[in-house]
Homo-oligomer: A and B are copies of this chain.
C-alpha cells in the first residue's frame, strides 16, 4: 500500500457559524488531509504542536492509524485559529490567527517518511514547501496547496516551487489572483505553463475544475441541505484526492477523475459537522454510497 506524506498545520480551532460554535477543537490543514486520506491509504503526517495540545486529539489520530512520527511537540502554545462564518458560508472571517510555535515551523522529515511516493504540501510558506521537497527522495507525485497570503507576499517563491510540483490545488479566487486572469480557462493555461501537470481549481459549492495538457474535467459539488462548518473542506478534498490516487496502481485520466470525485465526496462529509467530527463517524461504505449517488446526480 502506498503511503501519503502530508506536511501542514495541526491547529486548535474556534469556529462560529450560523449553526453552532466550537472552541479549541482539532483543526489544521494536515489534520483534515490525514483523516480524509486515511480512508484510502497509509498517511505519514509532519507537523508541530505545542505543550498545550490535548493528548486526546493525538491519541485519536494515532488510533486512526495515522503515522505521527513527524509531529514534533515544542515548548509553547499550539497554532490557534479563530473564525466566523456568516450565512454565506463561502468565506471565513478570520478573527485571530495565533501562529505561536507554528511561526518557526521548519519541518524535519523523519527518515522513515523520506521514501513517501505521494506528497501533499499543505498551505504553508512556499519556501518551506520547497525545503520539504528537498528532504524527500524518490517522489512519484507531489501536490501542493497555497493561499492568497503567499500569492501576495511570496509570489516568486511560489512560482519557483510550482516548477517542482505535479499537482497544484487552489481555489478560484487564488487562481485568478496568481494568473492575473479573470477567466478561469486562461488562468488554468497560465498555471499549467508554470510547471504542474495538473491544475485543480476548487470552487466550493460550485464544484471543481481540473486541467491537464491532455484533458479537462468539470465537476459539480455534492450539495447538502445544511453545511454546519465549511472549515477544512479544501484539505479534506486534497486528502480524498491524494489518498484515492495512492490506492491505485496507475495515475491516469480515469483515476484522476475518480480521485477528484472522491475528494469532493470527502469534503461534502467534512462540512456536515464541526472539526473532523463527521469524518470520524463515517465508513468506507458511506463514502461509496455517496459516490454512487453523485454519479446518478451528474450522469447523462
Stretch at the interface among A51-59, A209-217, A268-276: A209-217
A300 with B257: CB separation less than 8 A: yes
A218 in contact (CB, < 8 A): yes
Quick one: CB contact mask for A268-300 with B, threshold 8 Å, 1 for yes?
000000000000000000000000000111111
A207 in contact (CB, < 8 A): yes
A225 with B183: CB separation less than 8 A: yes
Q: Which of B203, B218, B226, B295 contacts A297 (CB 8 A)?
A: B218
In the complex, residue of chain B having the shortest beta-carbon distance to the beta carbon of A291: B300
Quick one: CB contact mask for A198-213 with B, threshold 8 Å, 1 for yes?
0000010011010000
In the complex, residue of chain B having the shortest beta-carbon distance to the beta carbon of A188: B223
Number of interface residues of A (CB under 8 A): 34
- Can you name 23 A-B pairs with beta carbons within 8 Å? A87-B182, A183-B226, A183-B227, A185-B224, A185-B225, A186-B225, A203-B206, A206-B206, A206-B207, A207-B218, A209-B220, A209-B223, A217-B297, A217-B298, A217-B300, A219-B220, A219-B300, A220-B220, A254-B300, A258-B300, A260-B300, A261-B300, A298-B298
B220 with A218: CB separation less than 8 A: yes
Q: Which residues of B contact A224 (CB under 8 A)?
A: 185
B297 with A216: CB separation less than 8 A: yes
Tell me the bound Cα distance from A186 to B227 in angstroms. Answer: 12
Q: Which residues of B contact A219 (CB under 8 A)?
A: 220, 298, 300
Tell me the bound Cα distance from A160 to B88 in angstroms. Answer: 30
A223 with B217: CB separation less than 8 A: no
Tell me the bound Cα distance from A182 to B87 in angstroms. Answer: 7
Tell me the bound Cα distance from A206 to B258 in angstroms. Answer: 20
